[in-house]
Chain A
Amino acid sequence: MSTVAEKELSIPVSTGDAVKDNFLTHTRGFLTWALTLDHKRIGLMYLVGVMSSFTIAGIIALIFRTHLMWPDGNLLTVQQYNQMFTLHGAIMVFLFIIPSIPAAMGNFLLPIMLGAKDVAFPRLNLMSFYLWVTGAIFFVVGLLLTGLDTGWTFYTPYSLDSKGPVVWATLAVFVLGFSSIFTGLNFIVTINTMRPPGMTWFRMPLFLWATYATSIIQVLATPVLGITVLLLTLERLLGIGIFDPKLNGDPVTFQHFFWFYSHPAVYIMILPAMGIISELFAVHCHKGIFGYRLIAYSSVAIALFGFLVWGHHMFTSGMSDVAAIIFSALTFTVSIPSAIKVFNWLATMYRGTISLNTPMLYALNFMFLFTIGGLTGLFLGPLSLDRHMHDTYFVVAHFHYVMMGGTLVALVGGLFHWWPKMVGRMYNEPLGILSAILVFIGFNMSFLPQFVLGTRGMPRRYATYKPEFQDLHIVSTIGAYILGLGLLVALISLLYAIVRGLRAPANPWGGATLEWHCSSPPPFYNFERPPTVHDPYDFRGIEYDEKIQGYVKRK
């Protein structure tokens, strides 16, 4: 790659002085934010939105974890419990985790990493945000009307009989789906058409590869979710007889429709997280990423295979043996590219210069948790074992290790990593490190016992349970409190930056991708002219400068 002679970057490296005119200060007033077309502001607004949703759903989780400390559940009625796990799942999936990294981090970073002024369609981008807001309002209205108690999966025929506001929720999902499609479409066009001179496909930062793969899934899979919830709405309102067995419909058809989207959606959640982790490992090991091409290809492979494995959510639903066997075989194909990525990140550490700061500790957290999440998938893929484990706490623990230990931890790590760029100030490092340690302890304490609960036979979505499961539930709940505390400390560390953090230099970590070449926070137009780029993981010549407390590129 480096054989091609490159011009040096045309952008002067900031000296770390306060940059007066940046995207935060460029214009002032509520409307300049509400009607902004600037991808960075939209990204920040998304961030506030998704993190608020996460906080609400997280508090709900803490409430029902408290309830689950007693076998009879002294805190809530069974109806309240059912509504709470439904809201926890629905808010986490539709309002938080799907838009989290692509819409919040992706919006902020993608154009800057491309050396572009904005995404290809800034107005579509703003519309996507307002669709998200609309969807969130629908959810809130549904929440206030009466409790939704179908589970986030809306399985028929329960969702047809349920007295809850199912139609509000399905319409919310329908609208949120469009938000997701618009974001994906925007990113695909932006990456295809707006790469700067010198940035070939294989010189893109891996975060962009991951975002690109994610966007493809968003555009191809989300319409099916739209169709599914629309059919469910029609079934509920008009009784069209497609899912309702009373009208000769088939409830299993709904499951196929639903997981045809919702399984690829799992990769909408995890792929961008993997992209963040690739960046964190390279930058904080101060070493090029190991096996760049294999990581890039594996993102695409995961996106493609991810479309073919939805049936593994339905192994016990009574589909034919042949279908079950095919889905089981395809399911294992996804494990290989995921394993490759883990090995590559590990090899990136080899002979690197590893800064054990907060973002890196979160990346290491991710490695630990995602490895457990991935390996426990091996227990659920084979058909025979699944007949015991399906719909038990083993599954709950498995997908929390992947979704929360994977995506959330990567998102928090990415927030610490890019926070200086976003707000122009440094977070509080000791608090950040403390939060990473608390999250590690709390997470494992909360979810490791759930694997054991699962193999012992504890079914999921149970408001009450047999007394022999109580010990492990108590450990799990205490772990959840520690996890909550850890995330609160992380929030304080980040907010500290805004209040009294030191001014951030342009390149606090020694990154080589383009976002580290513009000031912190970036100017309104990011770059005056498209910069010429070379290898995003070539760290030679990037050295620490004591004077500005950041890294500069030596010629």
Chain B
Amino acid sequence: MLEMIQSVLPLADVNETFWFPTQASTFAKEIDSFYDILFWISMFFFVIIMVPMGYFMWKYRQRKGYQGSPEALHNNALEITWTVIPTFIVVWIFARGTIGYLDMTKMPEGDVLEIKVQAMKWAWSFEYPNSAVHETLHLPVGRPVKLIMRSDDVLHSLFIPAFRCKQDIVPGRYNRMWFEAIKTGEFDLFCTEYCGDKHSQMITRVFVHEPEEYEKWVAEAARPPESPVEHGEWLYQRRGCKSCHSIDGTKVIGPSFKGSWGKDVDLSVGRTIRFDENYVRRSILEPQAEFRNGYQGASAMPSYQGRFKEKELDAIIEFMKSLKD
């Protein structure tokens, strides 16, 4: 079944073992082997509880000619044993978990690639050191990567199953995480903190490249197309617009980019407004200021104040103009 899915769909995260996806970061080995040990500890306790339970059920069942004994109500040695042994085991589990955690949270030093992450309803935006901004995460194999993460709207959480780590992103502060990929390829990145309507579609991809390939990609990603319309579409694809606004006229969360330009549109307050440069600009920078009628109930759009340069706003406007009809 898994092979069948894999052959049809370009999925990278089809798991290699029964429990886990592929081990793509330096953390994965420790997590998986720790899990395995805990699994066998649990199985051991499960068996020593369930086997006697099944046996007692049979052996001491109520039946003709059998009378149990009301004795055996207390046994100090036994009770101390099953208090003390589990205590030692959980102390060990705690210690190993804590050591592993400190390895995962202690920020690396030296040759570290820093990527700024912006999480928003419902898209990811990664800003690379050369100011390239993209909606997918690209990184070189074998080099520690540090993510500086923020959110302008609600809580999000960045989770890469193949890397075995996640970290919440809290508005109003920077949260950081790091990892080092050990395998090239394409992996899933999920949002794991509920963030509203399209939480389950706040998914993107992680691309782990050979170092030279990464450099090539990131240089390319920093170069927008020359023509304003193409630049606008380029931004539309990369900066989160597409998760709520379609370009084919369908209603996703917010109004479609298609077919509005130059028309008079109804506002929720009962008047109409011309869909022009000023309206678009205001809607991007202050999304809650003027609602289109029929979209009052839609989840609030985060403001793009400070995130788009003037030239980029122009490009978006040009792109909308091109979608006039």
List A residues at the B interface (Cβ < 8 Å).
78-79, 82, 146, 149, 151, 155, 157-158, 161-163, 245-246, 248-252, 285-292, 294, 316-318, 321, 324-325, 328-329, 332, 335-336, 339-340, 342-344, 346-347, 349-356, 364, 367-368, 371-372, 375-376, 378-379, 381-388, 390-392, 452, 455-457, 459-468, 471, 537-540
Contact = CB atoms under 8 A, between A and B. Distances in A.
Nearest to A73: B200
Given A381-B94, A388-B31, A468-B5, A321 B199 contact: no
Given A318-B175, A321-B102, A455-B35, A294 B79 contact: yes
Contacts of A318: 167-168, 170, 173, 175
5 contacts: A325-B98, A328-B101, A343-B79, A353-B62, A457-B162
Contacts of A347: 72, 75, 78
A187 B230 CA distance: 71
Nearest to B190: A459
A463 B78 contact: no
Given A346-B49, A384-B100, A151 B194 contact: yes
Contacts of A291: 73-75, 79
User: 3 closest pairs, A vs B, by CB?
Assistant: A382-B97, A457-B161, A384-B100
B268 interface: no
Contact of A324 (B60, B66, B101): B101
B61 A354 contact: yes
A335 to B, nearest CB: 6
B14 interface: yes
Given A324-B101, A354-B61, A457-B21, A368 B194 contact: no
Given A285-B60, A463-B200, A157 B155 contact: yes
Nearest to B165: A387
Given A340-B83, A349-B60, A456-B161, A384 B200 contact: no
Interface of B: 1-2, 5, 9, 11, 13-15, 18-21, 27, 30-31, 34-35, 38, 41-42, 45-46, 49-50, 52-53, 56-57, 60-62, 66-75, 78-79, 82-83, 86-87, 90-91, 93-94, 96-105, 153-155, 157, 159, 161-162, 164-168, 170-173, 175, 188, 190-201, 203, 297-300
Given A321-B101, A364-B57, A462-B199, 11 more contacts: A78-B201, A155-B154, A155-B194, A290-B75, A317-B168, A318-B175, A328-B101, A356-B57, A378-B42, A385-B31, A467-B5
A538 B100 CA distance: 50
Contacts of A344: 79
Nearest to A392: B192
Contacts of A379: 35, 38, 42
Contacts of B188: 457, 466
A299 to B, nearest CB: 15
Contacts of B67: 353
Contacts of A352: 56, 60, 68
A383 B300 CA distance: 34
Chain B, interface SS category: mixed
B175 A376 contact: no
Q: Which residue of A155, A316, A344 has the most chain B CB atoms within 10 A of its CB atom?
A: A316
A85 B41 CA distance: 33
B60 A350 contact: yes
A457 B299 contact: no
B296 to A, nearest CB: 8
Contacts of A250: 172-173
A438 to B, nearest CB: 19
- Pick from A151, A335, A346, A457 the residue with the most CB of B within 10 Å: A457
Contacts of B31: 384-385, 387-388
A387 B73 contact: no
Nearest to A325: B98
B171 A382 contact: no
A465 B11 CA distance: 13
A473 B80 CA distance: 42
B52 to A, nearest CB: 6
Given A372-B46, A468-B2, A355 B62 contact: yes
Contacts of B79: 291, 294, 340, 343-344
Nearest to A298: B83
Contact of A351 (B72, B83, B101): B72
A354 B159 contact: no
A78 B172 contact: no
A385 B38 contact: yes
B100 to A, nearest CB: 3
